[in-house]
A and B are shown apart, each in its own frame.
Chain A
Amino acid sequence: MLRLESVAMSYGNGRDVLHDINLTLHPGEFVFVMGPSASGKTSLLRLMGLIQRPSRGRFSLFNRDVADLGATEISGLRRRIGMVFQDGRLLEHLSAFDNIALPLRINGARNEAHDEQIGGVVAEMMGWLELAELTAVEPRHLSMGQRQLVAVARAVIARPGLLLCDEPTAHVDDKLARRVMHLLAQLCKLGSTVVLSTHDDDLVDRYPHPILRMSRGRLSRPAAAAATMAAAD
């Protein structure tokens, strides 16, 4: 589903921020990415999310070699990826509802029936994340935790094949963090691959998923993920 072979990545013409990354992820797999600040966790997620291209190596996603893809195909693959950004990246002029509905609108045709369908799905998701009362509220009126939940809801609403989460539980309380993790686990059971970057040791301890450790732009080989990574070699 996702395969990185000797991949390096740099921003613009700068030096590489990721070095020699080898990794294979399969459908339904859940992995944590841990590491200190500036170790390359976010860069790795941006690479997987097709926001940045590799400067070296081979990257295939959904069985397609990314290097061969044109703009239209890239857009098509991106629609199969959900991403929770560290800073939320909500559109401030849209309500919480419309922010969450964005991927569905981007994915689908624009018509009344589709809009009604979207309304039902988004309302259900908002209810589940205890956001039902915030439907019409714009992000500037939301707390950090609520913003984070809206960002998570937006990332999962279209049931992406690959879900990339950058600190999705950083600003939410323990109860909601569990709920978010449960949501991600459910998505995983439905076949989505989840990559979650976090600093939170407690969170990692609570959920027995493989951990990928990043250090200075390199991916180490933790025991739990060794088999997976070996497959890429």
Chain B
Amino acid sequence: MLRRRLDLPLEQTAPGRFLPWLIGGMIYGTVVMLGVAMTADRAMRAYDQRAQLVTVTLPMTDGDGAPDIEAIVEALHNTPGVLAATPVPGDELRALMAPWLGEARGGVDLPLPRLIDVTLDPLAAPDLPALENRLRELVSGATIGVEAATVDHAERLAALVRGWAGAAGIAVLLAALLGIGATTRLSLRLNADSVELLRWMGASNRYLADQFERHALSGGLPAGAGGFGFAIVTVGALLYTSRSMEIAAQIEIDLRPFDWLLLACLAATSLVLVVAVVRITTLRQLQNRPA
């Protein structure tokens, strides 16, 4: 259907040639902006999840008076709102300390604190100061560190980016759709003679709108695919850069396959909107002309 030559010379006028570029640019801008917004949203979700993680630190021991970890873990398990409590294994702990202790650690049995990772139920998180007091009754000097309570700058930046990029994406889409409407009107004006000839031959407004729609689709499909491809590369590059620059060190910035699929759906929806705008604009313009 798209291969047959159009009855109207839409490809031969400047607006007709410009339209695919506009569609490609629109899809590129929208997908990049909303891709960034989705990335920021994923980052914020990661921060939210971190808010459900706390670490219980038991004081350093010299080996003689090892803290009763099992009693602490049991106490944690019995606390409403605690989903899991997992002692950090000694190897992992030593690996964590390695940057500071280096080779000096070897052969010297330095006392180390013991850590327990605790996952809290976000809907029924326990009163952390009260829990800390109870743990101290079991092990003197026990503390609860709430990493997530520390809202770092990256989290605030993520919130800001999500808002601005989301708004910018929608603005790009709307501006481009307005531009496509204006381009269609201009195209109708420049092809007025041919449009009138077809009307004199009995072409209905729907038939003429089909012509404009087919033109938008035939040019918009490859241009949109190109715009989407470049947008994916751009979002991927932004993700890579943000990771290598360690913009948010505490979380991993990434998009899941489902997010990429959503971006593809967004591009397809944008193209559907383009076709709808072209069709509606053409029909309204033709209806305003005398039959």
Binding site for B on A (CB under 8 A): 49-51, 69-72, 74-81, 83, 89, 91-94, 98, 102-103, 105-107, 110, 115
Residue numbers in B under 8 Å from A81 (CB-CB) = 202
Task: Check B291 against A83 for contact (C-beta < 8 Å).
Answer: no
CA of A105 to CA of B201, assembled, Å: 11
> Can you list 6 A-B contacts with CB-CB less than 8 angstroms, sorted by A residue number?
A50-B200, A80-B202, A89-B197, A94-B7, A106-B7, A110-B210
Task: Check B197 against A78 for contact (C-beta < 8 Å).
Answer: no
Residue numbers in A under 8 Å from B200 (CB-CB) = 49-51, 78, 83
**Nearest 4 pairs of A and B residues by beta carbon:** A79-B202, A78-B202, A93-B9, A71-B291
State the total of A-B contacts with C-beta under 8 angstroms. 59
Binding site for A on B (CB under 8 A): 1, 4-5, 7-9, 11-12, 194, 197-205, 207, 210, 287, 291
Residue numbers in B under 8 Å from A93 (CB-CB) = 5, 9, 11-12
Contacts known (A89-B197, A93-B12, A106-B198); A72 close to B204, Cβ less than 8 A = yes
CA of A102 to CA of B208, assembled, Å: 12
Task: Check B9 against A75 for contact (C-beta < 8 Å).
Answer: no
For the complex with contacts A75-B203, A91-B9, 11 further pairs of A-B residues with Cβ separation under 8 Å are A49-B200, A69-B291, A72-B204, A75-B202, A78-B202, A89-B197, A91-B8, A91-B194, A93-B5, A94-B7, A107-B202
Residue numbers in B under 8 Å from A83 (CB-CB) = 200-201
| Shortest Cβ gap from A138 to chain B (Å) | 11
Task: Check A76 against B1 for contact (C-beta < 8 Å).
Answer: no
Residue numbers in A under 8 Å from B11 (CB-CB) = 93
CA of A78 to CA of B201, assembled, Å: 6
Which single residue of chain B is at the shortest CB-CB distance from A94?
B5
CA of A197 to CA of B194, assembled, Å: 23
Which single residue of chain A is at the shortest CB-CB distance from B4?
A115
CA of A63 to CA of B251, assembled, Å: 78
Contacts known (A71-B205, A72-B204); A78 close to B199, Cβ less than 8 A = yes
Which single residue of chain A is at the shortest CB-CB distance from B203?
A106
Contacts known (A70-B291, A75-B199); A106 close to B207, Cβ less than 8 A = yes
For B5, give its contact among A71, A75, A98 (CB under 8 Å): A98
CA of A88 to CA of B203, assembled, Å: 18
Residue numbers in B under 8 Å from A70 (CB-CB) = 291
| Shortest Cβ gap from B266 to chain A (Å) | 30
Which single residue of chain A is at the shortest CB-CB distance from B7?
A102
Contacts known (A71-B287, A74-B291, A75-B291); A103 close to B201, Cβ less than 8 A = yes
Task: Check B204 against A103 for contact (C-beta < 8 Å).
Answer: no
Task: Check A92 against B202 for contact (C-beta < 8 Å).
Answer: no
Residue numbers in B under 8 Å from A105 (CB-CB) = 7
CA of A83 to CA of B205, assembled, Å: 20
Which single residue of chain B is at the shortest CB-CB distance from A91?
B194
Task: Check A103 against B287 for contact (C-beta < 8 Å).
Answer: no
Residue numbers in A under 8 Å from B7 (CB-CB) = 91, 94, 98, 102, 105-106
Which single residue of chain B is at the shortest CB-CB distance from A82?
B201
Task: Check A75 against B194 for contact (C-beta < 8 Å).
Answer: no
CA of A77 to CA of B7, assembled, Å: 20
Task: Check A106 against B287 for contact (C-beta < 8 Å).
Answer: no
For B202, give its contact among A69, A106, A110 (CB under 8 Å): A106
| Shortest Cβ gap from B59 to chain A (Å) | 81
Task: Check A102 against B1 for contact (C-beta < 8 Å).
Answer: no
| Shortest Cβ gap from B89 to chain A (Å) | 69
Which single residue of chain A is at the shortest CB-CB distance from B196?
A51
